[in-house]
């Protein structure tokens, strides 16, 4: 049976977990292939901040800083260019997700659904308790901190005092991935991927649902076969927003109206990335794919990283960068998917979506290494 979720390795069903059901014993990770290096990659800086434990932590960039956190409750601010540590603080509780930030406010989530808001100097402003546990990074914008909790509530809190401004509630399907599916803010909307395969656009100021689109349609005879949750973080480029679902599709929609531009049958628990020409996605079987952004046509496919539990890929200069279960970062040609370079990190899995910050691409590993890489 295929591995159901890379992020945490377990499923939530009636409050129980079923880790052992989904270990992929028939399909071991593909061996790394040899290739002629096509680009030179250099490590610009690294930092060690603490392990992710059973959660997924991704850094965030604001202006010239990178903010990152770890399960031990420590939160860091680094200079994005040099990796110099500007400050660190520690939350009262262990943390369960990465950070969200805008130009004034930093937000993290702790155990038991506690949401913390700090100013960018690391001073705590307020803390509140959400309706249930939170596994995805909060997003910050429009004077609000927005979180999606495991009970399928999307809630917004005022950045000034933590007062809840609105909440959108959805019914949970019988069986869901215990995942860190994230959110994105653009055009005064917050886009949230939901269990059951729905992508929802919510008006940031009021909490009204502007549109809803289908990324994954539950199908099959069993509840397991009908799991079709949106995965990763919805990706925005220009007038498009693209998303993916486990046992569902990769699809792109009009940002403002939700009208579907195209969709392809696809299964991933990692999410997608978008650039001016392509949509990139890694399947749950480890196939890395590029689709044309305009029409969804298959441009290339690389199957040589099979079952290496890939992160979401990211477009980086002339390459596509993606991490794997052993902490390797692979750089492939953006044009044809051929291997160009490979870099090792601390040997632990790379689960979070990488991010491009200026001339660098930044990854966070499960054991807590932050690494910034550049093309030399």
Mean pLDDT by 10 residues, the chain (376 residues): 33 33 68 96 98 95 97 98 98 95 97 96 97 94 95 95 95 63 94 89 97 86 74 94 93 97 94 96 96 97 97 96 98 98 98 95 98 97
pLDDT of residue 25: 58
pLDDT of residue 354: 95
pLDDT of residue 24: 54
Reference 280, options 295, 299, 261, 263; nearest CA is: 299
CB 103 within 8 A of CB 148: no
What distances in angstroms separate CA 250 from CA 170, 183, 335, one per listed residue? Answer: 22, 16, 19
Instruction: Name every residue whose Cβ is closer than 8 Å to that of residue 50 and which is 6 or more positions away in sequence.
Output: 70, 71, 72, 74, 368
Instruction: Name every residue whose Cβ is closer than 8 Å to that of residue 59 and which is 6 or more positions away in sequence.
Output: 66, 67, 68, 98, 99, 352, 355, 362, 364, 370
CA contacts within 13 A on the Cβ side of 34: 0
Which domains can be identified in the chain, with CATH numbers?
Answer: 11-375 (2.130.10.10)
d(CA 356, CA 331): 13
Instruction: Name every residue whose Cβ is closer than 8 Å to that of residue 25 and which is 6 or more positions away in sequence.
Output: none
List, edge to edge, every strand of the sheet that includes 189-193.
183-186, 189-193, 198-203, 209-214
Reference 245, options 260, 233, 229, 258; nearest CA is: 229
d(CA 194, CA 215): 10
pLDDT of residue 227: 75
Question: Which of the 8 DSSP states describes residue 97?
Answer: B
pLDDT of residue 20: 31
Reference 312, options 284, 347, 278; nearest CA is: 284
d(CA 92, CA 127): 10
Counted residue by residue, the chain has a size of 376
CB 254 within 8 A of CB 215: no
pLDDT of residue 174: 61
pLDDT of residue 168: 96
Count of other CB atoms within 10 angstroms of residue 347: 13
pLDDT of residue 228: 72
d(CA 139, CA 102): 8
């Amino acid at each position: 049976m295929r591995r159901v979720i890379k992020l945490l390795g377990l499923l939530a069903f009636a409050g129980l977990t079923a880790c052992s059901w989904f270990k992929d014993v028939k399909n071991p990770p593909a061996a790394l292939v040899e290739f002629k290096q096509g680009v030179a990659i250099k490590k610009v800086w690294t930092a060690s901040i603490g392990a992710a434990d059973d959660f997924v932590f991704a850094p965030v960039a604001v202006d010239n800083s990178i903010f990152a956190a770890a399960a031990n409750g420590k939160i860091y601010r680094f200079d994005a260019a040099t990796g110099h540590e500007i400050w660190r603080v520690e939350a009262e509780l262990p943390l369960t997700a990465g950070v969200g930030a805008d130009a004034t406010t930093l937000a993290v989530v702790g155990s038991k659904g506690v949401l913390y808001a700090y100013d960018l100097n690391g001073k705590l402003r307020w803390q509140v308790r959400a309706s249930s546990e939170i596994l995805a990074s909060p997003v910050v914008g429009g004077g609000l901190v927005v979180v999606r909790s495991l009970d399928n509530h999307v809630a917004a809190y005022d950045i000034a005092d933590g007062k809840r401004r609105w909440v959108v509630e959805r019914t949970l399907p019988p069986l869901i991935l215990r995942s860190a599916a994230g959110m994105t803010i653009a055009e005064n909307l917050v886009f949230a991927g939901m269990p059951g395969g729905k992508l929802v656009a919510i008006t940031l100021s009021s909490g009204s649902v502007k549109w809803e689109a289908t990324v994954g349609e539950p199908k099959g005879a069993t509840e397991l076969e009908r799991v079709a949750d949106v995965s990763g973080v919805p990706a925005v480029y220009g007038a498009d927003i693209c998303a993916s679902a486990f046992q569902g599709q990769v699809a792109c929609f009009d940002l403002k109206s939700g009208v579907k531009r195209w969709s392809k049958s696809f299964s991933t628990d990692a999410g997608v990335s978008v650039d001016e020409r392509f949509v990139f996605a890694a399947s749950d079987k480890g196939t890395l794919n590029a689709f044309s952004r305009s029409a969804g046509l298959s441009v290339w496919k690389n199957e040589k990283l099979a079952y290496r539990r890939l992160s979401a890929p990211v477009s980086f200069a002339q390459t596509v960068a993606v991490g794997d279960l052993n902490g390797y970062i692979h750089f492939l040609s953006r044009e044809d998917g051929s291997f160009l370079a490979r870099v090792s990190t601390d040997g632990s899995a790379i689960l979070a979506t990488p991010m491009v910050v200026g001339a660098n691409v930044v990854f966070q590993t499960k054991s807590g290494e932050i690494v910034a890489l550049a093309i030399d």
